[in-house]
Structure 1
């Protein structure tokens, strides 16, 4: 499988690193992703993590707009100003930087959450609350998993 699925919570070590779950590292390897593009999510207090294709997807969306339009400028501000490139170390760990901590509220643990073509970094309790809210919203709309 080459999709990011499920969720795993791992502790941050004393040097500020966290092990990316093996199932997520295997997807990165299968997709031959060496450099990670990390982007602050537009809605949730989470950081999206994927390969360069994630950045390219957003840039394609920006490119169809007038480059001087408010929409293109807003998107660039979020996509370019709210994104960084990172790499895993040799042991498959990611440095939990201030860029990640400040935006997500992550302190000692990271919830890795699969989102099909990318994954997200969450403060674990915030993820559980957002997932419960999403489940409740679907229930209120009469939608159930099929």
Structure 2
């Protein structure tokens, strides 16, 4: 499986389009199935950014809904939060997309955007917020790894 790696910065053009970075486009095209959107965008529940999913990854995100009664309020709330703000998009020949206004507002995007790879998904950020998020994530990762107890290797 192709992964989304690195952080890339691009600008919106005069028509409001932004180019998906070439390595991300390649990974999206590798994973896309005929008849599916190239990418599915949705607002992050945790951060002021846009999440970008392949169709297959998005389908796996929805699997926990199967555990709920389809006529329950819990199912409806989860389904609304997952699907109501999801936007399947295809790019033009140059790999450009137009971000829906509601997503641009959620991520406070204006002229420039940062694309941040997270392995199986990527995020689209305001560049200053992306830099701060990477800083926070590194600090938290350091804290998480330093608090783990080393494996002893003893079988006794």
**Does 2:22 match 1:19?**
no
Deviation at 1:25, TM superposition (A): 1.0
**Does 2:70 match 1:67?**
yes
Task: Please give the secondary structure, in 2, of the residue aligned with 1:85.
Answer: strand
Deviation at 1:98, TM superposition (A): 0.3
Task: Please give the secondary structure, in 2, of the residue aligned with 1:139.
Answer: helix
Conserved 8 A contact 1:6-1:113: yes
Aligned length: 144
- Structure 2-normalised TM-score? 0.82
Gaps of 5+ in 2: 148-156
Rg larger in 1 or in 2?
2
Who is 1:132 aligned against? 135
Q: For residues 43-122 of structure 1, what are the structure 2 equivalents within 5 Å?
A: 43-122=46-125
Deviation at 1:100, TM superposition (A): 2.0
Who is 1:9 aligned against? 9
Deviation at 1:53, TM superposition (A): 1.3
